[in-house]
């Protein structure tokens, strides 16, 4: 099991920790393997009011599901240069609401968002 500490970008892994002296097709022996790490969700990035404001398109200090989803779409398009399918954003958005929408009114207020500011997410 390789623990990748770097969240973003590429993490070089020495051959001793990767496929070793034998290699593993298509990795040649003693190769240093670059694992590309996918960023799972915007919600796992640094949380700040900055991000909240970016998501809050109409500036009413609460996030609707549509606002969060639109933000995810833009973020992934920016990062990956191509859109994902709708179900992908839906899943992340559901997860964000599950964790943040404490009173389950379908909106994330700035207060609800801040409660989890110290969360590892």
Contacting Ca ion within 38-57 (CB under 5 A): 56
Residue range at the interface with Ca ion (CB under 5 A); choices 17-25, 30-38, 80-88, 104-112: 104-112
Q: How far is the CB of 70 from Ca ion (least distance, A)?
A: 11
Give the C-alpha separation, 109 to 106, whole Å. 10
Altogether, the residues listed in the chain come to a count of 121
Q: How far is the CB of 119 from Ca ion (least distance, A)?
A: 16
β-partners of residue 10 are 36
Closer Cβ to Ca ion, 18 or 56, answer by number: 56
Closest CA to 16 of 36, 37, 32, 40: 32
Contact 43, 121 (CB under 8 A): yes
Q: Which residue has the tokens 């998501």?
A: 55
Neighbours of 8 (CB within 10 A): 10
> Is 60 a residue that touches Ca ion (CB under 5 A)?
yes
Residue range at the interface with Ca ion (CB under 5 A); choices 1-9, 30-38, 74-82, 99-107: 99-107
Q: How far is the CB of 81 from Ca ion (least distance, A)?
A: 27
Closest CA to 89 of 105, 99, 76: 76
> Is 107 a residue that touches Ca ion (CB under 5 A)?
yes
Q: Which of 16, 32, 48, 58 binds Ca ion (CB under 5 A)?
A: 58
Using CB under 5 A as the criterion, which residues of the chain lie in contact with Ca ion when the complex forms?
56, 58, 60, 101, 103, 105, 107
């Amino acid at each position: 099991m390789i623990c990748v500490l770097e969240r973003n970008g590429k993490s070089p892994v020495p051959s001793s920790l990767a496929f070793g002296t034998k290699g593993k097709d298509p990795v040649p022996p003693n190769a240093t393997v670059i694992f590309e790490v996918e960023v799972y969700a915007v919600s796992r990035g640094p949380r700040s009011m900055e991000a909240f404001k970016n998501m809050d398109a109409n500036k009413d200090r609460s996030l609707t599901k549509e606002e969060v989803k639109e933000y995810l779409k833009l973020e992934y398009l920016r990062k990956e240069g191509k859109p994902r399918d709708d179900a992908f954003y839906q899943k992340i958005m559901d997860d964000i609401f599950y964790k943040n929408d404490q009173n389950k009114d379908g909106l994330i207020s700035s207060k609800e968002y801040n409660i989890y500011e110290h969360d590892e997410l």
